Amino acid sequence: MLGIGFLANHSGMSFTLGLAFAAYTGMAYPVFAAVIGLVGVFLTGPVTSSAALSGKFRQVTAISPAMHPILATSASMFGSVMGKLSSPQSIAVACAAVGLAGRETGIFRKTLKHPMILLAFVVVVVLPQAFVVPWCLPCAPAAG
């Protein structure tokens, strides 16, 4: 995953995808910020691998005019943590550690609803911060 992440970042693929995603989602990006994090960790497993794979993508979309950069990054990281709850790699390791090997699918089915409920909660929290009370967010420090 790290190799794919470096290839995507250094080739400009992540940058281009980030620009396109920010342009096409526009004002709906606050909903997608947490989803990006959740899907990234669900696919890769660890939060660090997800950050390496989609870090530049998240950075480019966070600096889009549609959303505050701190709020975009926070929503994406909340999504990453929620994706860890039902990540197939995490479930497989946990089942092997406690002697439940072979019961991964049942556990996966039971844990899948929790990240979705938390995702809805994060979207409900992020949307007002993005559009109703944006003054409650800290100002990003000036560059340089």
pLDDT (0 to 100) of residue 143: 54
pLDDT (0 to 100) of residue 66: 64
**Number of Cβ within a 10 Å radius of residue 24:** 10
- Residue segments in the chain with a per-residue pLDDT below the cut of 70: 1, 64-66, 140-144
Domain range list for the chain: 2-132
pLDDT (0 to 100) of residue 97: 92
